[in-house]
């Protein structure tokens, strides 16, 4: 059975540390990740079977260099959740969105008020 695990943590370094711990603790893979507030808040999404995801989230949340803001496990995620993760993963993995997804603001993009370079262009 497929499951997603989510861990939200402050800082990219802490997120990489948590991901390393989770991948070493169980047979899971990184599905995607999201940065908010310029990278100050990072959400990692891992995937694998339910027991592996639960084990990885437990290890990452207790052993990471920072305490996570929040964690969660979704066993047998709804197709809409799978679609949201796929949209994020397409950006994360460097694939361009096509069709109806091309107009969507992708998850993880900072709001315009946090994008200094974009603000300076206008």
pLDDT reported for residue 119: 46
Identify the pLDDT of residue 122.
52
What pLDDT shows up at residue 90?
85
Q: Is 121 part of any domain?
A: no
Q: Provide the pLDDT for residue 107.
A: 45
Residue 18 class from Cβ within 10 Å (0-12 exposed, 13-18 middle, 19+ buried)? buried
| Tokens standing for residue 35 | 């940065």
CATH of the domain at 79: 3.30.70.1710
Residue of 91, 77, 78, 103 whose CA lies nearest to 32: 91
Is the model's pTM score more than 0.95?
no
Successive 10-residue mean pLDDT values, the chain, 122 residues: 93 95 96 83 95 97 95 95 91 54 47 47 54
**Number of structural domains in the chain:** 1
Query: What pLDDT is attached to residue 38?
Result: 66
Q: How far is CA 41 from the centre of its chain?
A: 10
Q: Which domain holds residue 44?
A: 2-116
Residue 31 falls inside a structural domain:
yes
């Amino acid at each position: 059975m497929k499951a997603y695990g989510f861990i939200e943590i402050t800082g990219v370094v802490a997120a990489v540390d948590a991901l390393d711990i989770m991948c070493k603790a169980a047979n899971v893979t990184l599905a995607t990740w999201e940065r908010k507030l310029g990278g100050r808040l990072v959400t990692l999404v891992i995937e694998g079977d339910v027991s592996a995801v639960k084990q990885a989230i437990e290890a990452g949340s207790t052993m990471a260099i920072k305490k996570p803001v929040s964690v969660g496990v979704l066993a047998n995620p709804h197709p809409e959740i799978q679609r949201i993760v796929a949209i994020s993963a397409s950006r994360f993995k460097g694939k361009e969105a096509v069709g109806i997804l091309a107009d969507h603001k992708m998850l993880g993009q900072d709001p315009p008020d946090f994008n200094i370079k974009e603000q300076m262009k206008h």
